[in-house]
Amino acid sequence: MTHEAYAGTQQNVAGRAKDVALRARDALSVVLMEVAAWDVFKWAVIALLAANLLVMMLFFGSIRSHLAASRQGETPAQPTVDVGAEIAKQMADVKSALAQSINDMQAGLRDDIAKLGAKIDAKMQTVAPKPAQPAAQTAPKPPAAPKPKKPATQP
């Protein structure tokens, strides 16, 4: 029975190559029919994916070339300046600049407070309270007599 199922297949290499070519042609025709049925959205997605792939290839190629160039010129450069000393110098400069600006701000604040104090003093002198005049002596009023309470009546 197994021989009958494979009775139509050819056993030589040329026959097998012909079968593979026919199957590839059939698969290609199915793929072409499917691609022909695509709408604009699918084509746009394919175009964007292809552009993305191209950019990635260029990016990785650029990285490879930069790595190769850096490997060829692989001489470690000796620093000409002591980094710690440079950082300490910059920190000292920043510290002195900060102290100077704080002192300037304090001096400005003291000047402003002095000006405000002078303005307040000047206002207080112009609006000096008038001396209190003694009031004419009047006779004290007699205290008011309390009102009598009404007796509560029961119904």
Residue type, 50: A
**pLDDT recorded at residue 4:** 61
- Distance between start and end Cα atoms, the chain: 129
CA-to-CA distance for 7 and 10, rounded, in angstroms? 8
pLDDT in tens, the chain (155 residues): 555 655 555 567 888 888 999 999 999 999 999 888 888 999 899 999 999 999 999 999 888 888 888 888 765 556 677 888 889 999 999 999 999 999 999 999 999 999 999 999 998 888 766 666 665 566 667 666 667 677 666 65
Q: 59 in helix, strand or coil?
A: helix
Q: What are all long-range contacts of 80-87, with beta carbons under 8 Å and residues at least 24 apart?
A: none
pTM: 0.32
**pLDDT recorded at residue 50:** 95
**pLDDT recorded at residue 131:** 60
CA-to-CA distance for 12 and 22, rounded, in angstroms? 16
The radius of gyration of the chain from alpha carbons, rounded to an integer in Å, stands at 52
Decide if 36 contacts 26 (C-beta within 8 A): no
CA-to-CA distance for 35 and 28, rounded, in angstroms? 10
**pLDDT recorded at residue 154:** 62
Tokens of 101: 């600006």
